[in-house]
Structure 1
Amino acid sequence: MKTNFFSVIIVCFMVTTVFSQSNLNDYKYVIVPNKFDFLKQKDQYQLNSLAQFLFKKYGFEALMEGGKYPEDLIRNRCLALRSDVVKESGMFKTKLSIELKDCNDQLIYSSKLGESREKDYSRAYNEALRNTFKSIEALNYKYKPNENITGLQTQSSEARNEVTQEIEQLKQEIQNLKKEKEAEVAVNAQKVVESKPKVEVVPVPTIKKEVNNMETGVKEVLSKVLYAQEIENGFQLVDSSPKVVYRIKQTKLDNIFLVENTSAIIYKKEDRWVIEYYSNNVLKQEELNIKF
């Protein structure tokens, strides 16, 4: 009776080992985290680096988390298992085990406990980790592509391509709308400039004051030099006081500005700056001495 019992136990162990090995052989990569949860710092006691080294030693293609991944892994993350080292509670022993999970966070493999009686943390963790990797060594891992996993690559690529195409299409639509809006603004501004009626030119040396204090808000300081100071979306023109005389806003057209709070524009005519505004329904034009 005892013989049969032990035979069943041995068979179960062999089946579990073969099943685990078969599962692990389906995966091409193992990703090692740069920090284990039971430690406070990245690669503390060089434990993460040791885990990567031991995985490679026993046949795995081990990659450190956050490093440069191969192209096939970038396209299909399910080719890799994510590894973790778990610490078990123990009063006089340090106990560690290895867990391997797939891309869906499903546990694929859990190793036997590796133990150490060392009191020094660095030695204890190092020894316990090496002992738990004996379970990994016994698996004799060798990668054998599984179509159920590698087949996800095509699906992932197709889905990614569809998303990329949709994003590019949206970007193009946004660019088209932006260009249409800019073209509309430019056409409207050009119409304002081109539809200018015959103007009355006022000599530069004189300064005139309107009876109604220029209802349009245009201030005449033709005998003074105006200095341009950059502000948001344009400039403010100040005299030597200094006093702000005009605030002008940029347009889509070169060297054409809108005067803030007035129905006036300032633009460059040849090498001179000119301001145009209405006074008593008469369009007037005056030169300005602006220093940019």
Structure 2
Amino acid sequence: MKTKFFSLLVACLIVTSVFSQANLNDYKYVIVPTKYDFLKESNQYQLNALTQFLFNKYGFETLMEGDEYPEDLVRNRCLALRSNVTKDAGLFKTKLLITLKGCNDQVVFTSQLGESREKEYNKAYTEAIRNAFKSFEAVNYKYEPKAKDVMVATENTEVKNEVAKEIKKLKEEIQALKEEKKAEVIEVEETVVEVVKKAPVVKVQTKEVKNTKEKVDMKASTSVLYAQEIENGFQLVDSSPKVIYKIKKTSMKDVFLVISKNGTLSKKGSDWILEYYENDVLKQEVLNIKF
């Protein structure tokens, strides 16, 4: 009779162990609280940190309450078990019990009672919690995702890949636009340089003075002109203010194209010299410009 009872008890324990293991394998994470109710402070005696360490030791992926949770756990809180340690009354012993609950507050696993006869709380709690964790030695926990969880994870991965592809494509298009704009700027600069190079200002001046013996008409302007910055250059205004000239930058320092005169403005020493042709006579005018 006793033999039959003992065999039945062993069978029940085996079935319970297998059932508990099957339930535990459905969960990917264990969340450990930062404080237990029977203690006054968070992580007192380092008991919460020890709990996290021991869960990790037995193969669980453990998170401390308040940590940044993984993306799949944020989407599905039922992937995690919430752990707790409670203290049983004992006159000469410290007794601790570990429980794991699912997302609907159902108890999924309860450990054996961990005991200690140590008198110092630090040693007693440490020994008792380690003894309680011996219940997990026979569990052989290994997370086994459900089919729907795998499907959701796959779909999310595919979505992420698509988003990554779109972002990469946008970056490439932006880079192409930048290169195109850069090429346009270079082309404009080269055109301006070419125009300046081809402008026969100096060459014509030498030719006209030398061959035709014409004098260069030079005069100095007494009025002060003020330079106001515009796109690609400046406009020169008097005190009215009235726009007298518009000048465009070139690739050469202190050399500008004068739009309305078809001439150039360049700095020679401390003077700004305006040069242009009028009736085949080279005109030069010294301008007093304030930049």
Task: Give the TM-score of the pair, scaled to structure 1.
Answer: 0.49
Question: More helix per residue: 1 or 2?
Answer: 2
Could you say which structure has the larger radius of gyration?
A: 2
